[in-house]
Structure 1
Amino acid sequence: MTDGSANAADGSPPPPPAGEAPGNGTIAARLTELADLLEIADANPFRVRAYRSAARTFKGLAEPAAALLAAGRPLTELQGVGKDLAANVATLLESGTFPSLEEARDAVPPGVRTMLRLPGLGPKKVGAIYRDLGVKTLEGLEAAIADGSLAGLPGFGKKTGEKVLANLALVREGIARSLLARSLPIAESLADAVRAAPGTTACEPVGSVRRRAESVGDVDLSAASTDPDAAVEAFCTHPLVAETLSRTHRTARVRLTVDPGRPTEAELVVNAPEAWGAGLILGTGSKTHVAALRDWLSPAGLTLTDAGLIRDGVLIDSATEAAVYAAAGVAFVPPELREGGNGVLRVADLEQGGGLPTLVELGDLRGDLHMHTTASDGAGTIREMAAAAKARGLKYIAITDHSQRVTMANGLNAERLRAHWRAIDAANVLTPGVRILKGIECDILEDATLDLPDDVLADADWVVAVLHYGLSQPRDQIMKRLTTALESPHVDCIGHPSGRLIGKRPGADINWEAFLDRAAATGTLLEINAAPERLDLSAEHAREAANRGIPIVINTDAHAPGAVGAATWGVYQARRAGLTAEQVANTRDWPGLKALLK
């Protein structure tokens, strides 16, 4: 959610691997995109609503649409899916797009489409800017703000322009970079093609993808091969490659043919197998980390190069990363901890009790304490969400549908919430193997009160309090709101604390030192929200929280059964923060986690 406007819970999905049909999330994203473009073009509103309705249908569909067609079931059986729309989806499943979408994309300039990324500018307002002012680019939008013409449009004003200007830099960064969840599948698909080439012994995505950074520029790969030309050929002929920009016998750079919001270029470097570890370290980075490692190598007369680890012109064992770190006399550093120079420690220091943590892993998680159902804006029932969690090995979940303030998400008032909890009790009896907790995602209102009364919150098993609206309020008011939640005896956790959306929306203005200190003092847990566009807490703030002894909860904020898999991205964020399983509360069983609560 935003300040009064809706956002998808999980962003647009990554593309499927080459040769696979798009999933339901991709179908929903394409239909939503078409609806937005049609609304910008001032198309028939009934047609726009039809595509939006169908997008919701496919997003909530339990079985893949491709499987329905393969079983001979027509898509017209689905709610809101007519003959023409079903034909478009069938074409999308076959080719990755469909004519109506391509025509709409061609009809709306790229710069206008980019404006949809700006908070507060939905398709209706973007359409007015385009049609009434003739603005087609972000630069033109800046000029329209400067000369006052934007403020003159009906429904706009000076504050709209100020908000747009405040977010332009963030959006430009978002254009240049893509979310990890959208980049990693592309990187792995390219790597799979190189791995299959004759002579290739290894290939891995490197750079910010391997460090599991929140966002990624270009995709970089590092390979080991006795036949580098074959590896390069496999890379350049991948189905996602639109154009080869440069190529040598062991390197290549290509332009990718992918949707907006995905990485646009990729690069491959092929090393000899005996130098693979050195190449992997250099490719992974970061520059600061590599520089720190070289500082440890230098006293031993060792130089780290693409050709391997060299001493006096002779290749030293550098076939693995472990060999290179060992030669430097330092501990192996997991890629997630290489974002900066941190973590480069001598083995002798480790033996004296210091050293690197054993980072939390996805398999350590035993519960998920933030998810939604059809009772508010989710696409799965209570039992469907529980079954999805059970299939992933989880032992407990908290159903935390929205509270009443989030009217556009069908938020629950006290009466509906208590009825919902009774349904959870019934579902618990019918769903052995996973415990379903009675929870609520309770809004922290703009006036610094909670969205539901204490007597209701007191009956919950789990309360996650969040900022959804008023994120642009002054720091003092934001801190007053957060303090209300932290000091409530019924609030167990603060969810997605900043409210940011990566590359789209800045977070609230929080005094982080004071916030974390108060969370520690009140015994309130903090969430790493695993939704790829949130990853909130940031790694930096999660590390600072853990250093204060605040237990961290990795939650998916899943709005559909398939989104339970988003825990992966939250674990990567926790690993970048250096968190161990012990520092993550939901690696415990429910009684163990409950013992941590107020």
Structure 2
Amino acid sequence: MTAADGPPTPAAGDLGDGAMGNGTIAARLTELADLLEIADANPFRVRAYRSAARTFKGLPKPAAELLIAGTPLTSLKGVGKDLAANVATLLQTGTFDSLEQARDAIPPGVRTMLRLPGLGPKKVGAIFRDLGVDTLEGLEAAIADGSLAGLPGFGKKTGETVLKNLALVREGIARSLLARSLPIAESLADAVRAAAGTTACEPVGSVRRRRETVGDVDLSAASTDPPAAVEAFCTHPLVVEIVERTERTARVRLTVDPGRPTDAELVVNAPAAWGAGLILGTGSKMHVAALRDWLSAADLTLGDDGLRRDGALVDSRTEEAVYAAAGVAFIPPELREGGNGVLRVADLERGGGLPELIAQGDLKGDLHMHTTASDGAGTIREMAAAAKERGLSYIAITDHSKRVTMANGLDADRLRAHWRAIDAANVTTRGVRILKGIECDILEDATLDLPDDVLADADWVVAVLHYGLGQPREQIMKRLTTALESPHVDCIGHPSGRLIGKRPGADIDWDAFLDRAASTGTLLEINAAPERLDLSAEYARAAADRGIPIVINTDAHAPSAVGAATWGVYQARRAGLTADAVANTRDWPAMKALLKRD
């Protein structure tokens, strides 16, 4: 590669075994664009980084693979020489100079304001530059004294929206999405597994229970050489500070996102007590307390040193052995939450069995995905190829309807032309059936965004709330009822519209909504996008209890996002769902038979 082509191509070893994905690259470039806009930088530079972020997010293959193969990043749309060099450095080191300089220039509290709905980088920049406010507390004060409302483009409603969402954002700062924390936990676990004497190591706590969000990252290990396991943990490249360390335990601080440190903890047990340690580490506290009660009835005590009776060690090498000693069926980690409406103590009666939960790989279709016809980054055929690679046999292309103007939503004429393109793609596509679908907005006035004669010609219609999520419950329910009672709506997608840690969902009367979905034969979606996971586990369980078929969809906007089904399956497992409870574990003819239109 010549100098004109861009930065030198890193060797595979330079990128590491866990080279970051395109989504992370896009997030870093978007972050830089936001910080530059806050600082009132050249708008052309800001747009360049935003454009490049879209390019990397939509790549069908990881950018790291392109570099390893010798493909210059400058060959990508909107990626110039300097930007390509920055991305190459990002892949090698996890950051690059321009990003770090922008982070240093903008206080952490100002960066946090970007998480608040209604405050984009332009408004955050005005708050920072014109009012000198650089913390959430200062922002609250500016709302209270009226100075925020006095800024051009602001008003009383902006302040009300900010106050409403501050608590949600503060929780989001303290906890990270599972999709962010699980790869970190696995990377740490891999390092410990490679240490001499280690026989097992697993992420535990919230990560293993697959909660939607995670606080600290916890690991449990079994080793005949605990100091070696601890050393491997403490010397992981992500570790920037050792908070506490003993021969068998360590607590460290990680650097993943500046301004958002993550703590991680390792506990090392003897192999003979591995199962006991895994249960204690996984939790939840309520679940462990219940298990200890069952064990106590058998004169057994559960501790870090294993399961014991009168001080003598009882087989506790595996979790299964510990549960068996209590006379209780093995409980999958996702069902150990307790107290959240998904798992009740009555479900775990002595000797009772649990149904087999849905597993990764059970899905046969994905019924919510986007293409370049609206705001997606892949073509019809590219999305089909990605689905086939994941082992799926059918997909529904559900680009946005016209109300979503910012996503280039489709009107009736464009939609019908798009469907003709899907028909053409089906002729040459092998192994994956492509269904003609639409993500149809449920409008604020409780009508649907497309006429009945158009929706009637679709193979699959998923209706959604995108706008007006803050409307009163009565109007939200009127809108949802319109969709539920439509003979052409097959499914309600991401029903609440929430974004975890960023935006609350609509005010829904859940009992009434679920009852109406059951009576109308309308399916409900678990949207697998990590920031949505909507339905929640609680309401997915309540829907299944009413006999409502659930569909797990990715809402993929790029071929690489088809893999997000993983997070939806975890959510379904937390809801206690079997494969039979999830409609798209069936092949298309059996799935189609569940639809109200048939």
TM over 0.5: yes
Q: 1:266 aligns with which of 264, 267, 274?
A: 264
Identify the range of structure 1 (87-96 vs 406-415) with the bigger mean alpha-carbon deviation: 87-96
Of residues 446, 452, 464, the one that matches 1:454 is 452
| Amino acid paired to 1:285 | G
Question: SS at the partner of 2:241?
Answer: strand
Maintained 8 Å contact 1:178/1:261: no
TM-score using structure 1 length: 0.95
Residue 338 of structure 2 contacts residue 345 of structure 2 at CA under 8 Å; is this kept in 1? no
- Report matched runs for 1:68-147 at 5 Å: 68-147=66-145
Determine whether 1:298 maps to 2:317.
no
The equivalent position to 1:592 in structure 2, one of 558, 568, 590, is 590
Aligned to 1:430: 428
Residues 431-440 or 53-62, more deviating: 53-62
Q: What SS does structure 1 have at the residue aligned with 2:188?
A: helix
Which residue does 1:242 correspond to in 2? 240
* 1:276-309 per-position Cα deviation (integer Å, ceiling 9, x unaligned): 1111000000000001111111111111111111
Aligned to 1:230: 228
Match of 2:397 in 1: 399
The corresponding residue for 2:10 is none
Separation of aligned partners in 2, 1:263 and 1:584? 37
CA positional deviation for 1:262: 6.6
The answer to whether the Cα contact below 8 Å between 1:187 and 1:205 also exists between their aligned partners in 2 is yes
Mapped to 2, the partners of 1:396 and 1:533 lie a distance apart of: 25
| SS of corresponding position for 1:55 | helix
Q: How much does 1:28 deviate?
A: 1.3
Distance 2:304 2:358 in 1: 31
- Using the TM superposition, give the Cα deviation of residue 426 of structure 1 relative to its aligned residue in structure 2, in angstroms: 0.5
The answer for the alignment partner of 2:414 in structure 1 is 416
| Partner Cα separation in structure 1 for residue 197 and residue 431 of structure 2 | 47
The match for 2:6 is none
The match for 1:535 among 533, 536, 541 is: 533
What's the offset of the Cα at 1:61?
Answer: 1.9
Is the 1:345–1:355 Cα contact (8 Å) retained in structure 2? no
User: Are 2:204 and 2:220, in contact at CA under 8 Å, matched by a contact in 1?
Assistant: yes
What's the CA shift for 1:348? Answer: 8.3
For residue 390 of structure 1, what is the aligned residue in structure 2?
Answer: 388
Q: Aligned pair in 2 of structure 1 residues 172, 132: CA closer, same or farther (>3 Å)? A: same
Equivalent in the alignment of 1:182: 180
For residues 460-482 of structure 1, the C-alpha deviation after alignment (integer angstroms, 9 at most, x for no partner) is 00000000000000000000000
| Equivalent position SS for 1:533 | coil
Structure 1 outlier segments of 4+, above 6 Å: 345-348
Q: 1:348 to 1:406 in 2, by over 3 A?
A: closer
SS at match of 1:364: coil
The answer for the alignment partner of 1:553 in structure 2 is: 551
How far apart are residue 63 of structure 1 and its match? 3.0
Q: Which amino acid aligns with 1:245?
A: V
CA distance in 1, matches of 2:117, 2:354: 40
Counterpart CA distance in 1 for 2:20 and 2:219 is 25
* Map of 2:52 onto structure 1: 54
Tell me the amino acid that sits aligned with residue 403 of structure 2.
Answer: R
Structure 1 window deviating more from structure 2 (231-240 vs 69-78): it is 69-78
Q: Is the 8 A contact 1:179 1:262 kept in 2?
A: no
Equivalent residue letter for 1:27: I
Call closer, same or farther: CA 1:459–1:316 in 2, change over 3 Å.
Answer: same
Aligned pair partner of 1:27 in 25, 28, 43? 25
Q: 1:224 and 1:349, CA in 2 relative to 1: closer, same or farther beyond 3 A?
A: closer
Aligned-partner SS, 1:295: helix
1:256 is aligned to 2:262:
no
Mapped contact 2:302–2:308 kept (Cα < 8 A):
yes
Deviation at 1:65, TM superposition (A): 2.4
1:204-251: CA deviation from partner (whole Å, max 9, x where unpaired): 000000000000000000001111011100100011111110001100
Compute the displacement of 1:573 (Å).
Answer: 0.2
1:439 aligns to what SS in structure 2? strand
* Offset, 1:22: 2.6
User: How far off is 1:54 after superposition?
Assistant: 1.2
1:500 counterpart SS class: coil
Deviation at 1:62, TM superposition (A): 2.1
Distance 2:419 2:259 in 1: 39
How far 1:510 sits from its partner (Å)?
0.3
CA distance in 1, matches of 2:552, 2:364: 10
Write the distance in 1 (CA, Å) between the matches of 2:31 and 2:22: 14
SS at structure 2 position matched to 1:81: coil
1:343-354 aligned within 5 A: none
Report the equivalent of 2:329: 331
* Structure 1: 5+ residue stretches without partners: 1-15
Structure 1 counterpart of 2:418, which letter?
H
Q: Secondary structure at the match of 2:323?
A: helix
CA contact (8 A) 1:216 1:263 kept: no
Identity %: 87
Distance 1:170 1:348, change over 3 A: closer
Kept after mapping to 1: 8 A contact 2:15/2:91:
no
What's the offset of the Cα at 1:347? 9.2
1:572 Cα deviation (Å)?
0.3
**Aligned with 1:209 (options 201, 207, 222):** 207
Instruction: Give the CA deviation at 1:257.
Output: 1.3
Deviation at 1:19, TM superposition (A): 4.5
Q: Is the 8 A contact 2:496 2:508 kept in 1?
A: yes
Matched, 1:515 2:513: yes
Q: Could you tell me which amino acid in structure 2 is paired with residue 282 of structure 1?
A: L
CA drift at 1:23: 2.5
SS of the residue aligned with 2:64? Answer: helix
Pairwise CA distance, 1:349: 5.8
Pair 1:583-2:581 in alignment: yes
**2:11 corresponds to:** none
Code of the aligned partner of 1:495: G
Give, in whole Å, the separation in 2 of the partners of 1:433 and 1:242: 48
Residue correspondence of structure 1 range 360-379 to structure 2 within 5 A: 360-379=358-377
Partner residue, 2:462: 464
Conserved 8 A contact 2:273-2:305: yes
Choose which of 16, 39, 42 in structure 2 pairs with 1:41. 39
Q: Please say if residues 554 and 570 of structure 1, whose CA atoms lie closer than 8 Å, have aligned partners that are also in contact.
A: yes
Residue type at the aligned position of 1:358:
E
Partners of 1:534 and 1:563 lie apart in 2 by 14
Q: Which moved more, 1:409-418 or 1:306-315?
A: 306-315
Residue 345 of structure 1, CA deviation: 7.0
* Residue 159 (structure 2) aligns with: 161
Amino acid at match of 2:569: V
CA-CA distance at 1:260 after TM superposition: 5.0
Q: Tell me if structure 2 keeps the 8 A contact 1:178–1:262.
A: no
Q: Deviations over 1:4-36 (max 9, x none)?
A: xxxxxxxxxxxx996443322222111111110
Report how far residue 127 of structure 1 moved.
0.4
Query: Which residue of 487, 490, 505 maps to 1:489?
Result: 487
* Conservation of the 8 A alpha-carbon contact between 1:177 and 1:263: no
Amino acid at match of 2:468: G
CA distance in 1, matches of 2:79, 2:349: 65
Structure 2 vs 1, CA of residues 454 and 363 (structure 1 numbering), >3 Å: closer, same or farther? Answer: same
Other structure's SS at 2:416 match: helix
Q: 1:348 to 1:187 in 2, by over 3 A?
A: closer
| TM-fit CA distance, 1:102 | 0.7
Distance in 2 (CA, whole Å) between partners of 1:524 and 1:378 is 26
Aligned pairs, number: 580
- The 2-side partners of 1:346 and 1:89 are apart by 50
1:489 is paired with a residue whose SS is: coil
Counterparts in 2 of 1:328 and 1:344: CA distance versus 1, 3 Å: farther
Q: CA deviation at 1:73?
A: 2.9
Q: Matched residue of 2:338: which SS? A: coil
Of the three residues 474, 478, 481, the one matched with 1:480 is 478
Residue aligned with 1:597, SS: coil
**Contact kept in structure 1, 2:108 and 2:259, CA below 8 Å:** no
